[in-house]
Amino acid sequence: MPRYFIYLSYDGCNYHGWQIQPNAPTVQETIEKALTLLMRYPVSITGAGRTDSGVNASQMVAHVDFPEPIDTQQTTYRLNKMLPPDIAIHKIVEVRTDAHARFDATSRRYRYYISTAKEPFSRRYSCRVMGDIDFEAMNNAAATLLHYTDFTSFSKLHTDTKTNNCKVTSAQWRQVSPTQWVFEIEADRFLRNMVRAIVGTLLMVGRGKITLERFKEIIEKKERSEAGDSAMGQALFLEEVKYPEEIFI
Rg over alpha carbons for the chain, rounded to the nearest Å, is 19
User: H helices then E strands: how many in the chain?
Assistant: 5, 9
Compute the distance between CA of residue 27 and CA of residue 6 in angstroms, rounded to an integer.
13
| 3 state SS of 172 | strand
Strand pairing category for 236-242 and 56-65: parallel
CB 82 within 8 A of CB 35: no
Compute the distance between CA of residue 95 and CA of residue 46 in angstroms, rounded to an integer.
14
Compute the distance between CA of residue 213 and CA of residue 116 in angstroms, rounded to an integer.
25
- Crossing angle between the packed helical segments 212-221 and 194-206, to the nearest 10 degrees: 150
Q: Of residues 52, 134, 160, 229, which has the active-site annotation?
A: 52
98 is catalytic: no
Which active-site residues does the annotation give?
52
